[in-house]
């Protein structure tokens, strides 16, 4: 095989990762403590939105049911997600259900 620029690129080895490389990636949360009901306070509207989200409704459907805009639904969902410290609305709905906040 004739050495070309492409072959030289393929043969280059990557340098070993350094501590500064590892520092830019967050560590997994191993000692995460799930919030208790007393720690999380949802507003009545956030509870209502989470209830419909847990039922599998989309933001559009929740907006029609509650008579509010999609943006307002997403606002309440995002507030709930932040309060529970989770990454998405499904996780927030699960936490709310497990804590008994959706009844």
- Residue range 27-42, pLDDT digits in tens: 655 555 555 555 789 9
Domain 36-103 has CATH 1.10.10.10: yes
How is residue 22 written in tokens? Answer: 């590892």
- Residue range 68-97, pLDDT digits in tens: 999 999 999 999 999 998 999 999 999 999
Which of the two residues, 63 and 1, has the higher pLDDT score? 63
pLDDT of residue 32: 55
> Which residue ranges make up each domain of the chain?
36-103
Task: List Cβ neighbours of 102 (8 Å cut-off, separation of 6 or more).
Answer: 47, 50, 51, 54, 93, 96
With a cut of 70, say whether residue 57 has pLDDT above it: yes
């Amino acid at each position: 095989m004739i050495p070309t620029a492409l072959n030289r690129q393929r043969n280059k080895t990557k340098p070993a990762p350094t501590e500064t490389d590892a520092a830019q990636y967050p560590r997994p949360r191993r000692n995460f403590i799930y919030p208790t009901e007393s720690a999380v306070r949802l507003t009545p509207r956030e509870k209502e939105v989470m209830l419909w989200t847990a039922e599998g409704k989309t933001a559009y459907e929740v907006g029609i049911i509650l008579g509010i805009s999609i943006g307002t639904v997403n606002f309440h969902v995002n507030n709930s997600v932040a309060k529970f410290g989770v990454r998405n609305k499904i996780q927030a709905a699960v936490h709310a259900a497990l804590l008994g906040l959706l009844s």
